[in-house]
Amino acid sequence: MTFLTSDLRNDYPALRFSSPSGNPLTYLDSAATALKPQIVIDAVTDALGRYSAGIHRSVHFLGDESTERFEATRLSVARWLGAQEHEIIFTRNTTESLSYVAQGWPDDRRIIVSATDHHSCILAWDIGKTTIVPPLPDGSMDEESIVKEISKGDVGIVAVSHLSNVTGMSPDVRALATAVHSHGAILVLDAAQSAPHGPLDVAELDCDFLAFSGHKLGAPAGVGVLYGRAGHLRRLQPINRGGGSVETVAGVQSTWKSVPWRFESGSPAIESVFGLQAILEYLWDIDTEMIASHLASLRSYALDRVYSIPGVRVLGSLDSKSKGPLSFVIEGQSSHVLARSLSDAYGICVRSGFHCTQPLHDASRCAPSLRLSFYVYSQPEEIDRTVDALKRLVRASPR
């Protein structure tokens, strides 16, 4: 196992403060939202102070500077995804990015999704045309059944999560893309959980659209990304119409701007976009291969430690290749009560609930679960602290 140095924790102001219990903060809820390093906070402050001007439309030097930096972020995101600059659209979050495709893609055929996916990747689509494929018994995506469903025909879109926000498991995206494209459909990837693990290669993944949220990486909330193949973006219909998305308006007639700006109507979250550029540059500086190794090692370490808790049941496969969050239930224990107790007594923040994946929990016949999720600032001793606290809570719980 390989871990990043704990010195990185000094970059995150939230980790300097004690919890209400007086204990140091142990933050294992990064799959929900990542903590923000000082470099991101500084970028936002700088945007509010120095770059407080409208982009693209202001005919003065402040507008010029803001526009230049805004478009530089687009280039940084393109680098993170192995895409072209004009293939990147800024949105509010992953949910909105998926909705852009769901509402703007000109195809009336069926949609296929997996019950392992986040609610946003299920609810975005026309429910009357959507087939939800149940998971395998271990909670993983049933890729074989998805391919069989595609082969039945009349499928326009297949949308799946690149990395599960519950089990940490990932499908064979390239094989899935081959099956999707061979039947004339497109593949949409929800990369909300995979984007923080390091740069992605959309060409290697062979996906048609990909979505993620900046706050999962450590950017501020309010900025998301939609990648689309250049040819597909020219076919995609804008769903948010207003200032900034058109070249001319004459009565009811309008002329759209070129891609990608036709999809970015209204005033964007400029400060959040600048924060996204800051976190991407920060992650590049750390060493992205080390980040991926660190996160995989943390999950493997956590899996080993969690199994020392009596009555534990882990959701998903025990495959060591899983690299995302780790979710589990403990027999006879309420996950909500355990999470509240970890917070109040020990200053430990974990997630409890369905994690916006109730169909997966229902199919697995599983109650709301506890979830541990990690990021660059996480360390093995935090996992030890959490597991030890859980053991104490379970021992003290009335049976």
Which uninterrupted H or E stretch holds 369?
strand 369-372
Distance, CA of 112 to CA of 122 (rounded, Å):
9
Could you tell me the CA-to-CA distances from 166 to 34, 130, 245, 251, 358 in Å, in that order?
16, 22, 37, 50, 10
Range list of H helices, 22-115? 38-49, 61-81, 94-104
In sequence order, the 6+-apart residues with CB closer than 8 A to the CB of 381 are: none
Annotation says 356 is catalytic: yes
CA dist., res. 213 & res. 293, Å (int): 22
> Any idea how long the chain is?
399
Which is catalytic among the residues 207, 349, 356, 366? 356
Helical H runs in 93-132?
A: 94-104, 119-123
Nearest to 279 by CA among 228, 321, 326, 225: 225
Q: Which residues are catalytic?
A: 356
